Amino acid sequence: MATNMQKMIGTSEEDDDEDVEMDVKEEDGEEDDGVRRIRTSLIVGDDGGMVSSGSNNNQFEQHHVQEQLGTPGGGRRCRPLEEKERTKLRERHRRAITARILAGLRRHGNYNLRVRADINDVIAALATEAGWVVLPDGTTFPSRSQVPKPANGGSAAVASSSSHMASRQTPPSSTRGVGCGSKSLPEYNACRMKGVFMPNSPPYDASPNARCQSSSLVGDAGEQSASHPLISSSVDVVDGMQIVEMTPKLPERDFAGSAYIPVYVMLPLGVINMKCELVDPDGLLKQLRLLKSVNVDGVMVDCWWGIVEAHSPQEYNWNGYRRLFQMVHELKLKLQVVLSFHECGGNVGDDVCIPLPHWVAEIGRSNPDIFFTDREGRRNPECLSWGVDKERVLKGRTGLEVYFDYMRSFRVEFNDFFEDGVITTIEVGLGPCGELRFPSCPVKHGWRYPGIGEFQCYDQYLLKYLRKAAEARGHSFWARGPDNAGSYSSRPHETGFFCDGGDYDGYYGRFFLNWYSQVLVDHGDLVLYLAKLAFEGTHIVAKLSGIHWWYKTASHAAELTAGFYNPCNRDGYAAIMAMLKKHSASLNFTSAGLHMLDQQENITNTSSDPEAVVWQVTYAARDIGVEVVSENALPFLDRVGYNKILDNAKPLDDPDGRYLSSFIYNRLTPLLLERHNLEEFERFVKKMHGESVHDLQV
């Protein structure tokens, strides 16, 4: 009864915490109706009068209740000891799972949950993040950002404040601004509560771009709200209620004195034209000066193979790049250079078209097997197939020799910039978009997000290596690609290969995926070995992409077709990190901003988990001692995005004070250089450098 009374009158948070630590209460502790009637009859007389509370009556009551409880039909249920122990074990197991869930939400989702939070706290945090207001008594209703003001006394239509919330269906009974005369008990309780402020939204979610845009203060009509720095001046009166809208200024971390992380800005793709000439040098100079004024460390630029070696083998034209590098040097900025051996155009963010060299395209017309090929025989001229790495099919040279000659020419041409320390980093292109992966998701061949993609191993050279691997394994009939892996836009459950319990986890499936992923690792190993020879003493970087869709499925199908053998029972990134460590290369992981993907696109039904991908890849790198460089996957200009990048770059619990060795902002645009955006970017750079910020919200 005492427990029931505590539930009715409410308990303190400390009492709740103590209750959580107690052993599981036996389920047979509840009284049945017979016992309740006995106690009622003892307290209330037959004629409705109260029984005296004297000592004699108390003794009689205790004795009478004990007699009644001892009878077979009116007492407690007697349960075996084994069943009680099983109940305790189940409860301990449930608590252990709950603790791991809460730890994950706090660590990876920035949820502000107390140490002994329960399921109600989790639901409240999720509801608040989705833009709802949750009162202490559990009353939940849409925030003002979801419901516009009613017009002419009509009911308010539920609306969303962002594209992410537009698809949500809000129950009509949960409309904000319902008067106290409503018949709904929760809504009536909400009206009765005065001055309740619930700042439950995650840190940095106070901007218009955040998912949870505002909290609310609800008070009775005619009662003035106390002045508070967290409350804005927006006040509405609806049906006799005063609704005060607030824009909370949630605290920011002070990064003053933290580790220094260099910040680079990626230059536009078309800064050098197809004639290897610098486009608009005066305009670029002004932009670089603005970047210098906010103390960025340097810039990143792509050196395109299709521009430099465009017309004839081993005839290199570096003129435009030399002029650009000289301009950067004069402004005392640093350079990170990407040696891009892929085609530009057709991918996300590509605003120019830079094909592979003309002489390579001519070879491809007579021998299309130099390009990656899918099961249907469609060629992808975005980059050379890794099957030609050791095949002399490029005017007497192998693919590896072509890459090495290009790298050696760059090193000789810009030797003075290396010696002066202007060029600090060389990022070597290893595949499509410069990333170490198979081109498994080409839009021009029909892929649409969130399709699983297709394997790209059907050119004659890779099939030859597959045949050798199958023969060495003793099963020559395995020298083929899967015939039930679906098409580019298939879902895993629609295929026999990637579905749960599918062929991917059978003997043949494991053989094929091992071989396919090893081709990727071997290509990176060989190219980075040559890069280390050409750029001895210079920081080398390899780029990896985050394949986040279908990550929550057992097969991780989208990762498998891209060459990452990373199903749920295998770590597909450990071998790649070991290869990078072997060559003292750093990892550029396109991860920053993946946590905001749910604001940019609908990933509800794709089993996507961007943050889990980021966690697995970065921790695989850190565990083996590989430095991590990062760039943002999505463009952003607001403080919310910058602060989340900072939290990921400099976690509070990191013993080294930072996760990243440098950060690359993708990319320089006129919009970034507008006054307000540039001031916000300068603020971000200061925090990355560990400097103090004068307008820090604390």
Q: Which of 245, 343, 427, 435 is catalytic?
A: 435
Write out the binding residues for substrate.
Answer: 302, 342, 350, 543, 548, 590, 632-633, 667
Lowest mean pLDDT among 115-119, 147-151, 526-530: 147-151
Report pLDDT for 110.
Answer: 67
Residue 97 or residue 415, greater confidence: 415
Q: What value does the mean pLDDT take over residues 304-326?
A: 97
How many whole angstroms separate alpha carbon 379 and alpha carbon 306? 18
**Highest mean pLDDT of the ranges 83-97, 246-260, 507-521, 619-633:** 507-521
Q: Which residue numbers belong to the known binding site?
A: 302, 342, 350, 543, 548, 590, 632-633, 667
Determine whether 435 is an active site residue: yes
Top mean pLDDT of 208-212, 231-235, 238-242 is at: 238-242
State yes or no: pLDDT of 25 exceeds 50: no
Residue 419 backbone dihedrals phi, psi, to 5 degrees = -65, -35
Give the whole-number percent of the chain exceeding pLDDT 70.
Answer: 69
* Axis crossing angle, helix 319-330 with helix 281-293, rounded to the nearest 10: 30
Find where tokens 């750093």 sit.
Answer: 586
Task: Tell me which residue of 112, 105, 102, 103 sits closest to 250, measured CA to CA.
Answer: 112
Residue 23 has what pLDDT?
Answer: 41
| Residue at token pair 């197991």 | 93
Q: Is-catalytic flag, 187?
A: no
CA distance 668 to 266: 6
Mean pLDDT of 629-635: 86
CA atoms of 410 and 588, how far apart (whole Å): 21
What is the rounded CA–CA span in Å between residue 458 and residue 463? 6
| C-alpha R_g of the chain | 32
Residue 118 DSSP code: -
Tokens of 90: 């189940």
Return the pLDDT at 698: 53
With a threshold of 0.75, does the pTM exceed it? no
Percent of the chain whose predicted confidence (pLDDT) is above 90: 53
pLDDT for 600-622, tens place per residue?
A: 445 556 788 888 898 899 889 98
pLDDT at 414 over 90: yes
Indicate the helix (H) or strand (E) that contains 286. helix 281-293
Q: Which pLDDT score is estimated for 603?
A: 53
Q: Quick one: pLDDT at residue 56?
A: 43
What does 310-367 look like in DSSP terms, one character per residue?
-SSTT----HHHHHHHHHHHHTT-EEEEEEE-S-BSSSTT--S-B-S-HHHHHHHHH-
Predicted pLDDT of residue 299: 98
**Helix or strand or coil: residue 425?**
strand
Average pLDDT of span 258-281: 95
Residue 196 phi/psi, 5° resolution?
Answer: -95, 115
Q: What is the three-class DSSP state of 629?
A: strand
pLDDT at 625: 94
In sequence order, the 6+-apart residues with CB closer than 8 A to the CB of 587 are 541, 542, 543, 544, 577, 580, 617, 621, 626, 627, 628, 629
N-to-C CA span, the chain: 46
Mean pLDDT of 294-302: 97
Residue 618 CA to residue 620 CA, distance in Å, equals 5
